[in-house]
Structure 1
Amino acid sequence: MYYKEKYEKKNIILYAGTLNIRKGYADMIKAFVLVAQTYPAWLIVFAGNGEIEQGRKLSEKLGINKQTEFLGWVNGYEKDKAFKEATIFCLPSYAEGFPMAVLDAWAYGLPVITTPVREILDIAKDGKNLLLFKPGDIKSLADQLEKLISNKLLGEDIAKDSKLLASTTFNLETINNEIAGLYEQLLKK
């Protein structure tokens, strides 16, 4: 659901989802450490439940607690606000089906940094609709973060392409047409 309020984009890298090791939130914290000093105005924001206290402790231990925020579980207005204020979306998962959070980020027009999970690779292209890195590769994740932080035009281009992908591939009319096509094929058999 999109609310009508306008939010000013902030220097925020957003993570939305459950905070657990499999989702790679700790990798995101460790990668951000590598760019945080160069970009002190940037924050990473975690929207989701799970290992919040462990995340806080890790960000404090690594010295970026002032550039890290944990919102807890968000939905409705708070989710809308988090996505609209963010400039970059990051989901560093080790394994996923099709990550709905990435679809949300595309719908909000955010450039996405994620890992090459199967279903993502079926529809999106690295460097065009998103930026990819190998799960667990902290340096590569940091490089992708820096790439989008330092190159606003690249982020805008990726966001534009990904929003178009989301609106054409995942709209109701397209889905209904695909279902109708499947029924037609089944009826012919």
Structure 2
Amino acid sequence: MADAMAQLLESPALRSSLSRRAAGVVRRYYGAGAMADDYIELFDEVVRTAQIIRSPRTGAGPDVVMLGPQTPPTGGMASVVRAMRRSGLARQSRLTVINSGKTTRQGRTLISGLAAQAGLLWRLIVAIAAGRADLVHIHTCSGRTFWRDCVHALVARLMRRGVIWHVHGGRFAEFAAGCGPVGRAVMRRAFESASAVIVLGDTWRRQLMPYAPRARWRVVPNGVPLAEGPLGERGETFLFLGHFGRDKGAAELVQAAALAAGRGRKLRVDLAGHETAPHQRDKLADVAARAGLEDHVRFLGVLAGPAKQAALASAGCVVLPSYVEAMPMALLEAMAHGRAVIATHVGAVAEVITDGVEGFLIAPGDADALADAMTRLAEDPSLRQRMGRAGRRRAEQRFSADAMGKRVLAIYNDVLEARP
């Protein structure tokens, strides 16, 4: 204690630096905004069992029933829905959000699954019938979720409500190509009869337009809340956010760290995510151990809310070496926190970052290129900071939650103005 007091007394610069850092910590974690975020997390958990969330409207916007997954927001689609609820869209329109995510336990029986889907359909019917909903906004993705949502769209149209599809997921084009003639005919009818079909980028519009040429395609990039307070980095840790399955490239990230270690540069890697199959984490840990990186590769588990914000705040760079993506929320969250990024040329990622400006773009599966990019950023703090600042500016200009909300609200208004 005496030594610490002496250091502070003898160094005005140290006192000033620590004071600025302490003020930043207070603003980020203990200010009114942080407290509000904590309450939102609590309220999200409480209302999850209610399945329906209604937002108060302060503007003159439309009444909208929105179907999408709710808490816990560990997936991209759930994060988008949550960001919309926290954006100006929820204040300028009246959103009734119905949880379309899985609410039954893992390994549920067929009967319980059918009962859950029947309950979801019933909640949609009640929400439309009980209010004066102008539109039904359906967040969907590939597979059985899309076919289920076709039923929701049909019911909404039978009840004379406009339908807006919002397509997520990096495998939707692949799913559409593999549907077969009947499935593609159903998809074409579902999209072309809708008031609008939202996709996340021009890349996805070009890929999906052949399956429904007369659909009213609209592009709305994902958006995230912008981090507040000081955004300066605190280290050179490389943060990974995602599951440990092949699609997200976690194995390539650990392999790249091992390659860098073999070249004499041990990098710190934090992996935040979950397994999609047994023993995935053990295999990653084995690769790290063989490279002598037991103390450099950490597994943080699934992060959400303040814990994820803290991980982003302390990282030097965020790495997303994915094989498949649409427009990853983790990438946008990294940019919103002023972090340099390393990502792959997949999906709409190249519409978000420019190689060499906000980060580096590499080919999926190229562990050598990933190791080179990580080593370069680890050894050049000024480059990390320049890329982080460029990413933050890009997020502010195009990928904030409020920017996303404004684009969606404009689509709502356009659709309603075009209706007879």
Match of 1:14 in 2: 239
Q: SS of the residue aligned with 1:105?
A: helix
One-letter identity of the residue aligned with 1:23: K
Contact 2:342 2:361 in 1 (8 A): yes
Match of 1:39 in 2: 265
Contact 1:111 1:159 in 2 (8 A): yes
Distance, in Å, in 2 between the alignment partners of 1:14 and 1:71 is: 10
One-letter identity of the residue aligned with 1:15: F
For residues 28 and 97 of structure 1, do their structure 2 counterparts lie closer, same or farther at Cα, with a shift above 3 Å needed?
same
TM superposition score normalised by structure 2 = 0.41
Distance, in Å, in 2 between the alignment partners of 1:144 and 1:4 is: 35
How far does residue 158 in structure 1 lie from its aligned partner after superposition? 0.9
Q: SS of the residue aligned with 1:3?
A: helix
1:10-159 equivalences under 5 Å are 10-36=235-261, 38-40=264-266, 42-50=267-275, 51-159=280-388
Match of 2:29 in 1: 3
For residues 12 and 172 of structure 1, do their structure 2 counterparts lie closer, same or farther at Cα, with a shift above 3 Å needed?
closer
Contact 1:3 1:80 in 2 (8 A): no
Contact 1:35 1:146 in 2 (8 A): yes
Bigger Cα displacement from structure 2, 119-128 vs 156-165? 119-128
One-letter identity of the residue aligned with 1:11: E
Structure 2 unmatched ranges of 5 or more: 1-27, 32-229
One-letter identity of the residue aligned with 1:3: Y
For residues 172 and 13 of structure 1, do their structure 2 counterparts lie closer, same or farther at Cα, with a shift above 3 Å needed?
closer
For residues 166 and 8 of structure 1, do their structure 2 counterparts lie closer, same or farther at Cα, with a shift above 3 Å needed?
closer
Distance, in Å, in 2 between the alignment partners of 1:11 and 1:79 is: 17
CA RMSD of aligned residues (A): 2.3
Distance, in Å, in 1 between the alignment partners of 2:247 and 2:400 is: 30
Moved segments of 4+, more than 6 Å: 5-8
How far does residue 169 in structure 1 lie from its aligned partner after superposition? 1.0
Q: SS of the residue aligned with 1:168?
A: helix
Contact 1:52 1:72 in 2 (8 A): no
Bigger Cα displacement from structure 2, 70-79 vs 104-113? 70-79
Distance, in Å, in 1 between the alignment partners of 2:315 and 2:30 is: 16
How far does residue 72 in structure 1 lie from its aligned partner after superposition? 1.2
Cα deviation digits, residues 90-149 of structure 1 (max 9, x gap): 011111111111111111111000101221112321111221110111111111111111
Identical amino acids, percent of aligned pairs: 27
Q: SS of the residue aligned with 1:29?
A: helix
Distance, in Å, in 2 between the alignment partners of 1:43 and 1:4 is: 28
Q: SS of the residue aligned with 1:160?
A: helix
Q: SS of the residue aligned with 2:299?
A: strand
User: Of 162, 165, 170, which aligns to 2:394?
Assistant: 165
How far does residue 69 in structure 1 lie from its aligned partner after superposition? 0.7
Distance, in Å, in 2 between the alignment partners of 1:132 and 1:8 is: 21
For residues 73 and 181 of structure 1, do their structure 2 counterparts lie closer, same or farther at Cα, with a shift above 3 Å needed?
closer
Cα deviation digits, residues 35-78 of structure 1 (max 9, x gap): 236334x3111011112222112211333222111111122332
Distance, in Å, in 2 between the alignment partners of 1:179 and 1:20 is: 32
How far does residue 15 in structure 1 lie from its aligned partner after superposition? 0.5
Could you say which structure has the larger radius of gyration? 2
For residues 163 and 64 of structure 1, do their structure 2 counterparts lie closer, same or farther at Cα, with a shift above 3 Å needed?
same
For residues 130 and 4 of structure 1, do their structure 2 counterparts lie closer, same or farther at Cα, with a shift above 3 Å needed?
farther
